[in-house]
Amino acid sequence: MPDGPGAGVPGAGAAGSGAAGAGGGGTGAAGAGGGGTGAHGAGDPRAGRLRFEGLRFAFGTLSVLRVRVERWDRPTAGRAMLCAPVVGIVLGTLAAALGALVAWRAGGPLGAVTAVAALAALTRGLHLDGLADVADGLGSGKPAEDALRIMKQSDIGPFGVLTLLLTLLGQIAALAGQFGHSPLRGALAVLACAVTARCALAWGCLRSVPAARPGGLGAMVASTVPTAAALAVSAAAALLLALAGLADGWSALRLPLALAAGLLGARLLLRRCVRRFDGITGDVLGATAETAATCCLLTLALAG
């Protein structure tokens, strides 16, 4: 998740600035809608409209799907982070279907490679890019300001290369075992890791977590999500994965456990980054997403 207004968002530059301008600045759109999240009652049609805008923001920012983002403000960004698991469901289902098809015809290892490649392609590699940048920043050993400058550079350093390599190998190896057991189990694992990664985004944007620097996507979404809302979204995701896991017996227990493990791993990285960089950036959020996905898959592999 690179920083920068409208990074990776089709139409965000013009449409987003228009939404802000209509309300008189970055928070004006919220003012036009009553201010903040939940300003409208459940029966107010504008409340549904605002939730829909959050969903558009999520898909436009977190996927290759060409969705025009019409509101570019912090309240909408907060709703988008809560809608991120929905993006995970859609992208995870697509990648799972491709991986299962290839695994059925060509075996588990190729199915795993296909699924991991599909998830990367469906997100433009944004989260992987963030992971590499954060690895370079953390590995630099420099003060926060210098580390953040390193993370903004377009090239990738040795720490980033090594971290990407190990992460992708770990994901593929873990998924190969799941697909080797059965295409269905592998598909469920892909879905679980995709949803877990997007749940981690909501936790990375808690109101207690500041932005590391002004400007960019990280500053837009930082401190926008209430803890209760992140908890509710994660609980709903765990229930969904449990229901999906019923198709594979014990996966009904394994998948929610893997989600919890993934969120724990992401939380540990987030804590380290906040201490190291004094807050989050878009790259930090991408890194937490990939960490959550990897921890989720490793947990499933260890669970058998």
Quick: pLDDT tens for 215-274: 888 999 999 999 999 999 999 999 999 999 999 988 899 999 999 999 999 999 999 999
* Cα angle, residue 124 at apex, residues 119 and 127 outer, rounded to 5°: 75
* Mean of pLDDT values over 5-17: 41
Q: Is the pLDDT of residue 7 over 90?
A: no
Give me the pLDDT at residue 83, please. Answer: 96
Give me the pLDDT at residue 72, please. Answer: 83
The position carrying tokens 């403000």 is: 73
- What the block records as the tokens of 274 is 């906040």
Give me the pLDDT at residue 130, please. Answer: 97
Neighbour-count burial for 57-83, b at 16+ CB within 10 Å, e otherwise: bbbbbbbbeebebbbbbbbbbbbbbbb
* DSSP state for residue 48 in the 8-state scheme: H
CA 241 – CA 253 distance, rounded (Å) = 9
Neighbour-count burial for 6-34, b at 16+ CB within 10 Å, e otherwise: bbbbbbbeebbeebbeebeebebbbbebb
What kind and span of H or E run contains 220? helix 216-221
Give me the pLDDT at residue 9, please. Answer: 45
Contact present, 266 and 139 (Cβ < 8 Å): no
State pLDDT tens for residues 260-285: 999 999 999 999 999 999 999 999 99
Give me the pLDDT at residue 126, please. Answer: 95
The position carrying tokens 């954060």 is: 134
- What the block records as the tokens of 164 is 């990407």
| Bridge partners, 225 (sequence order) | 206
CA 266 – CA 212 distance, rounded (Å) = 17
Query: Residue 91's closest CA among 122, 59, 126?
Result: 122
* DSSP state for residue 248 in the 8-state scheme: G
CA 74 – CA 67 distance, rounded (Å) = 18
* Mean of pLDDT values over 154-158: 91
Q: Is the pLDDT of residue 17 over 50?
A: no
Give me the pLDDT at residue 29, please. Answer: 36
Contact present, 193 and 212 (Cβ < 8 Å): no
Q: Is the pLDDT of residue 287 over 80?
A: yes
| Bridge partners, 280 (sequence order) | 211
Contact present, 246 and 252 (Cβ < 8 Å): yes
What percent of the chain is predicted at pLDDT more than 90?
76
Q: Is the pLDDT of residue 50 over 90?
A: no
Give me the pLDDT at residue 71, please. Answer: 82
Question: Whole-prediction pTM value?
Answer: 0.85
Q: Is the pLDDT of residue 25 over 60?
A: no
Give me the pLDDT at residue 14, please. Answer: 35
Query: Residue 207's closest CA among 237, 232, 230?
Result: 230
Query: Residue 178's closest CA among 261, 134, 112, 263?
Result: 112
CA dist 70 → 30, 35, 211, 278 (Å): 13, 17, 23, 31
Contact present, 103 and 179 (Cβ < 8 Å): yes
Give me the pLDDT at residue 250, please. Answer: 84
